[in-house]
Structure 1
């Protein structure tokens, strides 16, 4: 990749950003397609968020990914918010052509899951009620899930998210309960989505939210954690003969969606996945 006077800049804003996997993934995609783009990570202090957006406009930056802690606060500085991002209440992608905010986290998870099974008419159990759960849950209902069950240690937080999903009018059945009751809910579940940080590096020996003996072999098990690739939950899913969906796929496909928003072109997903795996020191 050669930086020229004509090179288009896209990037990531967050605080911190130095451990992001997005720059190698996106720069590999631009290189694969011979596109005159470069992806850069910018560490932006929360106090400087508005000036960062204003500066990006002035510098003709083409697009941003947005990570913590800016996903909510950045919305007030944009001219337009995509409908589903508005429902989620957070933005992770900005297109500077029209200063519009999107959320590709949820669609990243959907695309990962739909490599294994369709979402439509499925009963889905979602563990966790934070930002990732919110993003994924709204996309689950958009893609036709039959029912959603939100399980969280703080049941009030689960109920709040469940009510927001119901208020969207996209689904008629959303249950909220304690994650301690997960075993009972998995009996009739088609898909389990774990959005909690349990098992994330360096806590790779954490107790998973559910063991193999509580899973059936038709269950699709998605863990949003991607480091390590094989989390404690994924190991249990494999042991149970269930169908595992790896968190790296969500990371990949949220990037694929952002790429298309910025450039209007389909991203080379295979090349992006190869580089992600190399960056994460995975085989393949």
Structure 2
């Protein structure tokens, strides 16, 4: 049996084990998916002591390891190198290869929901691993991208990276994540993407954006998928905005990771049903 892991801290909230194990069973694959709670100081030991082992096939990587994991593996694909973060690792005979399926997962979630990114004004909250992937993907089609982050330096660094990759195709800006900048940027944004963990279980009553700043001309995409309807999404709908749950990105990025591990196309409908069931939806 081959084992795939979810590496993060904490990981008790994740529905990925149920989602992937259902997919493995559906296709009759001798695989198992397990959540591994790995504290930041223990990441190198887990990767080298467990993930390189003969029964390990790979892993998904989540908060807080998406950036630091790059330093501990043997190779990364072109997309992950450009993004500067990995969310998927494949063990090829003891060689650990990193990939990033977050950006393609987010882009597919938006497009499958009939969102037209072309020329749109996107406001992205966060500058961590998931935000980096989403920023690179969105910048390929959006008209403008503004990144707000509690640490302005990280937002500026990400904006400079995107600007260097995208050239003149997209206008990129960065600023601190505070109410003044939220008010200013939301007033002209078409799409709001939350790539911070604010509102994630168990802190379900937290939100990165005060309700009074939301409006009906927005599409609000929250990458947080647990709970299924975050406070941000609930209040966006109450303000008349369109809301898109992070469970869609979860399914699409998970399906691409599944393909990398197994060489098989994932049963998307099953994965979505299981994820929603686990989340009470």
Shorter-chain TM band? 0.7 to 0.9
Residues 145, 170 of structure 2: 8 Å contact kept? no
TM-score by length of 1: 0.85
Q: Which runs of 5+ in 2 are unaligned?
A: none
Matched, 1:35 2:32: no
Correspondence for 1:65? 60
**Structure 1 residue 125 displacement after superposition:** 0.8
**Structure 1 residue 223 displacement after superposition:** 0.9
Q: For residues 17 and 184 of structure 1, what CA distance do their matches in structure 2 show?
A: 35
Correspondence for 1:151? 148
Q: Deviations over 1:226-269 (max 9, x none)?
A: 22222222122212322110022222222111111112222111
The number of equivalent residue pairs is 274
Q: Which runs of 5+ in 1 are unaligned?
A: 1-6
Matches within 5 A, 1:173-184: 173-179=171-177, 180=179, 181-184=181-184
Q: For residues 152 and 209 of structure 2, what CA distance do their matches in structure 1 show?
A: 16
Q: Which of 76, 81, 87 is the matching residue for 2:76?
A: 81
Q: For residues 154 and 47 of structure 2, what CA distance do their matches in structure 1 show?
A: 32
**Structure 1 residue 207 displacement after superposition:** 5.0
| CA RMSD in angstroms, aligned pairs only | 2.4
Q: For residues 64 and 137 of structure 1, what CA distance do their matches in structure 2 show?
A: 23
Correspondence for 2:137? 139
Correspondence for 2:90? 95
Q: For residues 247 and 197 of structure 1, what CA distance do their matches in structure 2 show?
A: 11
**Structure 1 residue 208 displacement after superposition:** 4.9
Correspondence for 2:250? 251
SS in 1 for 2:118: coil
Matches within 5 A, 1:165-244: 165-170=162-167, 171-179=169-177, 180=179, 181-206=181-206, 208-211=208-211, 214-217=214-217, 219-244=218-243
Aligned CA distance change for structure 1 residues 213 and 47 (closer, same or farther; 3 Å): closer
SS in 2 for 1:39: strand
Superposed structure 1 runs of 4+ greater than 6 Å apart: none
